[in-house]
A and B are shown apart, each in its own frame.
Chain A
């Protein structure tokens, strides 16, 4: 985690700033959805770095806070639609955790667009591409992340 992402404020010094976005995708739906988008040759922006997780319920909300602290411009979390979790109810527990996390982050003043959530099934390659396009567009409009970011390690 230390070296993979450099704070994008530095990248911004160059004119062609591109946001860095981490996508946490559930293995059973959204990751397969991303795969389908790939094999179907659907175009979507290359700004997302995908982290595959077994279930959206596996995502500790602290992963997301940590991403922001490390200077990631946006975080996308995606899992199975409610009722379709491979582990029956992982995404339903996750939904409550994410609701609270989003409430807290927005309350302390993190822009709502920085952290986004979606349900994407394995057959929704098109939807995955659309979600990524939307997220990238929104994060681009917000600009590089400044709040929560720890200064770059010396």
Chain B
């Protein structure tokens, strides 16, 4: 039985038995290598559900403020986001059924589109570790591994660490291949890093897609929208863009699960993960905490130890 079939069977069972009111999953999108989130509340509709390497969206986003009981199709990163939402009391644990799916990485559609240099992708199928793309009539084959999202290339939690049902066999966990872009940045001097971020974040148009798509950005009023006090202006100049991204990184410290949703959503193609990755790396080194792995552990900024590191304090 294919993964998709067993996913549909599980979804049907959950709906028929009334264990959930709605299944939040993925259905076929309108473009090749694209899926779209779908909400299924009728057991007869479960055949719409799909599961493949283009199911990128982090569906945890749809759980906040839900009144009904939802079953969510969850990759490793999605499940960790759900755990964080439960820890932060945004979602009740008994209002969500985590349907774990084995994930071997999501294909970054944009990377393929870029490679095609303007030629249109008409159809795409994934065969093992190859992506077979029909480009304007002719067939082209890409190695899946090279076209994965960056967050998937460094992923160390492919399967949901906590789940209620799991579809099929768990995916093989891999060690991160090492983060080239992050380690390069870490080697730079402060001035070099400043020029890097100035250039990279200089592309930002402050559309807030990264915030909208982030499962952990659920504040009713974001600091950028506040007017009393007005923390920062609405322009896209260097200073305010930097203010926005620095503060966003700050607010996500010890909470980000590196699902890569922000980078995927960014219309300007900014690699937004660098900053969050660095923070999470330091949080792990300093406070030995990784977000989204347990319901019991207190998030690092909500607690303290008397002997926390403080070399930088005079």
Interface residues of A (CB under 8 A from B): 1, 61-62, 65-66, 69, 82-83, 89, 92-93, 95-112, 116-119, 131, 134, 147-151
Contact = CB atoms under 8 A, between A and B. Distances in A.
B279 A104 contact: yes
Contacts of A149: 239
Interface string B283-314: 10011000000000000110111101110111
Given A65-B243, A92-B304, A106-B190, A100 B283 contact: yes
Nearest to A115: B312
28 contacts: A61-B250, A65-B243, A65-B250, A69-B240, A69-B243, A82-B306, A92-B305, A93-B301, A95-B310, A96-B287, A96-B300, A96-B308, A103-B278, A104-B249, A107-B193, A108-B194, A108-B197, A109-B196, A109-B197, A110-B190, A110-B194, A117-B314, A131-B314, A147-B194, A150-B233, A150-B237, A150-B239, A151-B237
Contact of B231 (A66, A95, A108, A112): A66
A118 B314 CA distance: 4
B232 A69 contact: yes
Given A82-B310, A102-B312, A119-B313, A107 B278 contact: yes
Nearest to B249: A104
Contacts of A1: 229
Contacts of A119: 313-314
Contacts of A101: 250
A109 B313 contact: no
Determine chain A's interface SS by DSSP, over half rule: helix
A100 B279 contact: yes
Contacts of B310: 82, 95, 99
B313 A100 contact: no
Contact of B190 (A93, A109, A116, A148): A109
A79 to B, nearest CB: 9
Interface string B189-202: 01111111100000
Contacts of A69: 232, 239-240, 243
Of the listed residues A93, A102, A116, A147, the one surrounded by the most CB atoms of chain B closer than 10 A to its CB is: A147
Interface of B: 185, 190-197, 223, 229, 231-233, 237, 239-240, 242-243, 245-247, 249-250, 253-254, 275, 278-279, 282-283, 286-287, 300-301, 303-306, 308-310, 312-314
A117 B312 CA distance: 7
Given A106-B190, A107-B193, A96 B301 contact: yes
Contacts of A118: 313-314
Given A92-B305, A99-B308, A109-B197, 11 more contacts: A93-B301, A97-B301, A103-B278, A107-B185, A109-B190, A109-B193, A109-B196, A116-B314, A131-B314, A148-B242, A148-B243
Contacts of B237: 150-151
A16 to B, nearest CB: 26
Contacts of B300: 96
A105 B314 contact: no
B135 to A, nearest CB: 39
Contact of B223 (A62, A99, A107, A151): A62
B309 A62 contact: no
B231 A62 contact: yes
Contacts of A134: 314
Contacts of B253: 100, 104
Contacts of B232: 66, 69
Contacts of A116: 314
B278 A89 contact: no
Nearest to B254: A100
Given A62-B247, A92-B304, A116-B314, A99 B242 contact: no
A105 B193 CA distance: 11
A152 to B, nearest CB: 11
A103 B278 CA distance: 9
Of the listed residues A69, A97, A104, A110, the one surrounded by the most CB atoms of chain B closer than 10 A to its CB is: A104
A99 B193 contact: no
